[in-house]
Structure 1
């Protein structure tokens, strides 16, 4: 009897997680880890804000009119460590095209996050130890590392639920930067 109850509970939990973590009906997976939304069907990003690692606050609204790359990372995450140089490379290559990057550090304390982030990237990161900011997205990242690219209107254009390389990612960001707003 306990086994059946455990199986039923697991099935209900799996169904709930799948429902919460899937793409919206207007966005389609292009691979098992990438979701893209057609321009006319992109959902709005939540009103993202938080405390920056180095002090001060970040408000997504301050970057309206820019393409915003939001990368969820943790200092404890090996794939995050592997992709950080690639993210900085894409940031440097695209920032003059109206692209902003924002890191969101999850499940870390400030000192560990700052030690990892400092000197590796030139873009800011928000401290989010509870991972609440990820849950606010209509298409949540569901993994660490994960990257969400917002178009110039503040809508979710691409969600990548895996680590990325500069060669894979720069064309995606450049394409979105070239879109008319």
Structure 2
């Protein structure tokens, strides 16, 4: 239990530092809007996501880079997290409602055991999840999700468009995903 508290404290401290350096450009001017725990970046303010790849809960591997050209909704969750249980149906419903618009979803399971995570997902979501018990993938993001649950939306070019630091509902998430999906990708020379 003490190790989990230490890991959670370290996670919070590092993500706060990453957040402060990732959201401010030269001269300390904000690069993205942060309102009520939702960070939204206009296309000209977005930074590329780092490598988001790893072993899937049920075996195999996944690399977000293979999804270039699609909007990718990345949800950080744990089976021990009550808000994660509450948002699971809304995530799945948003996935089903938007997948024909070239939108894909990916879960990233953190601070969990594989067996509990697999049991949690069973019958709840149909999209894959990476097993990341050490929360390493979250720490690599320029605009980090510093809560669990958290949802990061990558645009079609693999850039961070939105970070939601709270549980989501379909009514709140789907319009954001649809707006990002409706954006035109930058011309090849501007990527």
Q: How high is the TM-score relative to the length of structure 2?
A: 0.84
* DSSP-derived class of the 1:148 partner: strand
1:94 maps to 2:92: no
Distance 1:52 1:150, change over 3 A: same
Counterpart-to-counterpart distance in 1, 2:138 and 2:154 = 14
Partner of 1:27: 32
2:43 to 11, 36, 39: 39
Q: Following TM superposition, by how much is the alpha carbon of 1:21 offset from its aligned partner in structure 2, in angstroms?
A: 2.6
Q: Which position in structure 2 is the counterpart of 1:156?
A: 160
- Cα deviation digits, residues 120-159 of structure 1 (max 9, x gap): 1010000000000000100110000000000000000000
The root-mean-square deviation of aligned C-alpha atoms, in Å, is 1.5
> Within the alignment, does 1:168 sit opposite 2:172 as a pair?
yes
Q: How many residues of Structure 1 are paired with residues of Structure 2 in the alignment?
A: 167
Could you tell me which residue of structure 1 aligns to residue 142 of structure 2?
Answer: 138
Deviations 1:100-126 (A, max 9, x none): 000000001110000001211010000
Q: Tell me, which stretches of 5 or more residues in structure 2 are unaligned?
A: 1-11, 25-30, 186-191
The offset of 1:58, in angstroms, is: 0.3
User: Given that residues 14 and 139 in structure 2 are in contact (C-alpha distance below 8 angstroms), is that contact kept between their aligned partners in structure 1?
Assistant: no
Q: Which has the larger radius of gyration?
A: 1
- Is 1:116 aligned with 2:120? yes
Separation in 2 of the partners of 1:21 and 1:41?
15
**Alpha carbons of structure 1 residues 62 and 79: separation in structure 2 relative to 1, 3 Å:** same
Deviations along 1:56-80, one digit per CA (max 9) or x if unpaired, are 0001111000000000000000000
Change in 2 beyond 3 A, CA 1:17/1:163: closer
Q: Within 5 Å, which residues of 2 pair with 1:8-87?
A: 18-22=16-20, 24-25=23-24, 26-29=31-34, 31-87=35-91
Calculate the TM-score normalised by the size of structure 1.
0.89
SS at match of 1:158: strand
Shift in Å at residue 41 of structure 1?
Answer: 1.2
